[in-house]
Amino acid sequence: MDLRADTGDRVPPLAQSVSIPTAGQVVIRSLPAAAVGLLGLPLLGRFLPPGVGEGWWFLSALAIMTSTFLVLYLVQAPRPRVDKQVSQERWSWSLAYVAKHRSVSTDPGVRTAAALAACSEIELFIVHVGIVVGGVLGNVIRPGFFWLSFVGASTGAGLVAAFRLRRSCFYLRLVHAMTTTE
């Protein structure tokens, strides 16, 4: 018996039992992943043998970066599901709109999608800061190593997230203020 036969093409409703995390919760939950990037790269510079070729260094650094984002995935706060019918244009406009007008969308799907994007931007900023600081510390420990390739990419991604950080924190604060007044 097919249990999905009666649902048709309807999209399941958003999981209302899981709330959107606050900006502080997102920062606290992102710290272990940032610590992996912060400590992993200097430890790589310290314990990788001096005669190792570029290929092994690259694979080791790539493994540290992958484990950093794996830890980030594992420690994320529980979040509601995104409504697939909400387009990226609508939630990105909602994030940009909040900075000027100090209000969020009345559509719960757009509000949830924008809040989840704000959470992701905060997490990426925290993790990329950890990776950049870890790369700088690794360069202090082992100068002349190929740190620039990983630190440069993380610096660029961290700067993009930094420009979006203020509006993301403000959006989450406003969403939580709105839900407490309802």
- For the stretch 124-163, pLDDT in tens is 999 999 999 998 888 888 887 677 777 888 889 989 989 9
> In the chain, where do the E strands start and end?
none
User: pTM for the full model?
Assistant: 0.81
- Beta carbons of 137 and 111 less than 8 angstroms apart: no
Q: How many CA atoms lie within 13 A of 111 on its CB side?
A: 18
When pLDDT is averaged across residues 106-111 and rounded to a whole number, the result is 79
Residue 13 lies in a domain: no
The number of beta carbons lying within 10 Å of the beta carbon of residue 83 is: 17
- Beta carbons of 72 and 119 less than 8 angstroms apart: no
pLDDT (0 to 100) of residue 60: 85
Is the pLDDT at 1 greater than 60? The verdict is: no
Residue 32 lies in a domain: yes
The number of beta carbons lying within 10 Å of the beta carbon of residue 92 is: 14
Residue 174 lies in a domain: yes
Residue 168 lies in a domain: yes
Is the pLDDT at 17 greater than 70? The verdict is: no
pLDDT (0 to 100) of residue 107: 77
Residue 3 lies in a domain: no
Domain count, the chain: 1
Structural domain for 83, as ranges: 23-181
Residue 102 lies in a domain: yes
- Beta carbons of 115 and 86 less than 8 angstroms apart: no
- Helix, strand, coil percent values for the chain (each to nearest 5): 70, 0, 30
Using DSSP, state whether 50 is helix, strand or coil: coil
Using DSSP, state whether 20 is helix, strand or coil: coil
Supply 134's token pair. Answer: 């870890």
* Burial class of residue 112 (count of CB atoms within 10 Å of its CB; 0-12, 13-18, 19+): buried
Residue 5 lies in a domain: no
Question: CA 89, CA 103: separation in Å to the nearest integer?
Answer: 17
Residue 16 lies in a domain: no
